[in-house]
Amino acid sequence: MLPSQFSSGDVIADRRADYARMLAEGRDFAAASELMEQALEIAPGWAAGWFRLGEYREKGGIEAAGDAYRQALALQPDDVFGARLKLALLGVEETPDRPPSRYVEGLFDDYADRFDTALVEKLGYSVPGKLAALVAPHAPFGCTVDLGCGTGLFGAEIRGKTTRLEGFDLSLNMLARAEAKGIYDHLGQSDLSLAAEESGLFADRLPGHRADLVSAADVLMYLGSLETVFPLVAGLLSPRGFFAFSVEDAGEEGTFVLRDSLRYAHSEAFIRSLLARFGLDLLGLERTVIRMDAGKPVRGILFLSRKSA
């Protein structure tokens, strides 16, 4: 939840919400839900409060969690909290093909200041180094386009192996962190869930088919169906250019699934079908643990592909 949404604007409602949070931290979700309900009687238009009530009800196995999420969505239609994803996990709505852009943007804007420390040092995030090792035998590259560049973790790994390095991300706070590292030749805001002409990746000074390498490290798990991403990559790649990326491993069956983490996992078969459909030859893959989550390993797959001749 975004810091800007913590307050309802009413002191009494906020006080009851604070007590509810303390009860929830003690895992008394029934009492936490009751106090949040009281807070929302005072401040019924507080979208973040309704979302928090949904979380308390969900964690406590209390009915009507979905009603709280729907109320949050009605009050905040751009779905900055990811209420639609929560409703899908409850099984009361279909799984969306992709998460709301405002949810992803807000998530990483809030995460940017502590991203490197939290992800690398605390969660053992290892994708940038492993992905860089996967592409290293094919270096050097003339131009690399780092999709969902974040704070520049993969950019730092590949900088010495590419003449030009471009980074794109939905989060302006992430881009500011990447800029501070001084490793990118160009940084820009881009929404990978949009079609090519809307994405922000192409302009007169940023033409198509310019990249010898396109990377997407720990990005596709925030995009679901990937029906917009692969056409973007095909448009960015030069002839015989490389596409290196990671996914969370959904196993052998199906296409993609939404996990409790509100991230998507993709199957190897689904990725192979997309590579073939968009003219990319699979050169190699590596199954690996990509991070820890709640003390458990998150298993993923690293892919290296190349644009067909």
Tally the domains of the chain: 2
What phi and psi, each to the nearest 5 degrees, are found at residue 188?
Answer: -150, 155
Q: Does residue 162 belong to any structural domain of this protein?
A: yes
Give the β-pairing of 296-307 and 280-293: antiparallel
What single-letter amino acid sits at 165? L
Show pLDDT as tens, one digit a residue, over the chain (309 residues): 444 467 888 999 999 999 999 999 999 999 999 999 999 999 999 999 999 999 999 999 998 999 999 999 999 999 999 999 999 999 999 999 999 999 999 999 888 888 778 777 778 889 999 999 999 999 999 999 999 999 999 999 999 999 999 999 999 999 999 999 999 999 999 999 887 778 889 877 789 999 999 999 999 999 989 999 999 999 999 999 999 999 999 998 789 999 999 999 999 999 999 999 999 999 999 999 999 888 899 999 999 999 997
Instruction: Give the domain-ending residue among 94, 121, 146.
Output: 94
Residue 38 and residue 14 share a domain: yes
Do 170 and 56 share a structural domain?
A: no
Segment 61-77, tens digit of pLDDT: 998 999 999 999 999 99
User: The domain spanning residue 80 has which CATH number?
Assistant: 1.25.40.10
Contact call for residues 220 and 246 (beta carbons, < 8 A): yes
- What one-letter code names the amino acid at 239? P
- Which of 65, 94, 123 terminates a domain? The answer is 94
- Is residue 245 included in any domain, yes or no? yes
Taking each helix axis as running N to C, give the angle between helix 11-25 and helix 47-59, from 0 to 180 degrees, rounded to the nearest 10.
20
Q: How many angstroms separate the CA atoms of 168 and 171, rounded?
A: 9
Measured torsion, CA atoms of residues 215, 211, 161, 289, in degrees rounded to the nearest 10: 10
Residues 172 and 293 in one domain: yes
Give the bridge partners for 237, in sequence order: 211
Of 211, 161, 210, 165, the closest CA to residue 184 belongs to 165
- Domain extent for 115: 108-307
